[in-house]
Amino acid sequence: MRIFKICFCFATLCITALAQSDKGSISGTVLDPFGKPARLAALQANNTATGAIAKASATANGSYQLADLAAGTYDVSVNTPGVRPFEKKGVLVQAGKATALNVRLQEGTQMSTLGEDGEAIVADQKNHKPPSGPTPRTADGKPDLTGVWWSPVMVDPGKPEWTPYAQKIAQERTENNRKDAPQAHCLPGATLRRGPLYEFVQSKEMIVEVSDDDSPGFHHIYFGREHPKDPDILWYGDSVDRWDGDTLVVDRVNFEEAAWLDQDSHPHGENLHIVERYRRPDLGHLETEITVEDPKVLAKPWTFKRVSDLAAGHAVREFLCTENNRDVPHLVGK
């Protein structure tokens, strides 16, 4: 009987070892633009063949591990507040082996100015203490999205497939130190950017969205309207909304050509169409799913998901960019 148990245990260990050898991993460190550990970095590996997704977070010293990955090729993305998203395509994972991938993140569109100071955002996130409680509702029973919200955290970056045109323009802007970024010249920031604080003020007729470091920093989202037949071109786009159950659906079109699409310096075309779906599952959180359609810059629609914490006790203060714009004299291209 004892021999049988020993043999059985040995066989079990062999089977376990074989099973483990069928998996691989990706590991390394994530550093911020200043060479410090990116403690809040969120990593995601997407299997290009199966679509399977693995996620991990960097530790206090910046190290991470994406474990138990099936052998194959992966696209790895890294997101952390205040800096440009990172993506590495075609990372090979082999069975029983650890693939090393070290990441050095780059500064945001505005070179860590205008609310994109990564260290300041990390410090702010330590203050995140979203209150608990049920979803607040308006008199007609709809979720009330009113409140001041922290900059959203990416929970699913999706998989944008940029066209050669979009990649070319983004590269040119990056190589030119992004000196022509609209926000650096007191114009609205990237279309998909939010925060570091933003506010929703909701009424029966409309929602007003306000950002604390943007100029002019506010735009209206109208209930019960249609987009104008004669396009009215706007920096924030023409926005209309409707309710789909407890989800607010915002439809945005007609964007100013000079606006940059995202913080990674991509442009947009004249047919840019953005659909935002907002859901407030409880008092302290706001979930957002955004789908971007633009045949000039995206091979297919791009959908990603973010979550914001309620910034209880905080307020959006006035922001006058033109009064004290110190960026322009220091914006030097190549």
pLDDT of residue 8: 47
Strand extents, DSSP E, 142-217:
147-150, 153-156, 197-202, 206-211
Amino acid at residue number 3: I
With 0-12 / 13-18 / 19 or more C-beta atoms within 10 angstroms meaning exposed / middle / buried, residue 74 is: buried
pLDDT of residue 295: 97
pLDDT of residue 264: 87
Distance (Å, whole) CA 98 – CA 89 = 17
pLDDT of residue 239: 95
For the chain, give the number of residues: 334
Q: What is the average pLDDT score of the chain? A: 86
Distance (Å, whole) CA 36 – CA 30 = 8
Order of all β-strands in the sheet with 238-244: 147-150, 197-202, 206-211, 218-223, 238-244, 247-253, 273-282, 285-293, 302-309, 153-156
Q: Confidence band (pLDDT; 50, 70, 90) for 113?
A: very low
Contacts of 224 (CB under 8 A, 6+ apart): 205, 242
Distance (Å, whole) CA 27 – CA 160 = 23
Greater pLDDT, 6 or 160: 160
**Every domain of the chain and the residues it spans:** 2-104, 118-330
Strand extents, DSSP E, the chain:
23-31, 42-47, 53-57, 63-70, 72-79, 86-93, 98-100, 103-104, 147-150, 153-156, 197-202, 206-211, 218-223, 238-244, 247-253, 273-282, 285-293, 302-309
CATH fold, domain 2-104, is: Immunoglobulin-like (2.60.40)
For residue range 75-84, list pLDDT tens digits in order. 999 987 667 7
For residue range 64-74, list pLDDT tens digits in order. 999 999 999 99
Cis status, amide bond into 216, omega within 30 of 0? yes
Distance (Å, whole) CA 176 – CA 264 = 13
For residue range 16-53, list pLDDT tens digits in order. 443 456 899 999 999 988 888 987 788 999 999 998 99
For residue range 226-252, list pLDDT tens digits in order. 999 888 899 999 999 999 999 999 999
Distance (Å, whole) CA 195 – CA 153 = 10
Q: Confidence band (pLDDT; 50, 70, 90) for 139?
A: very high
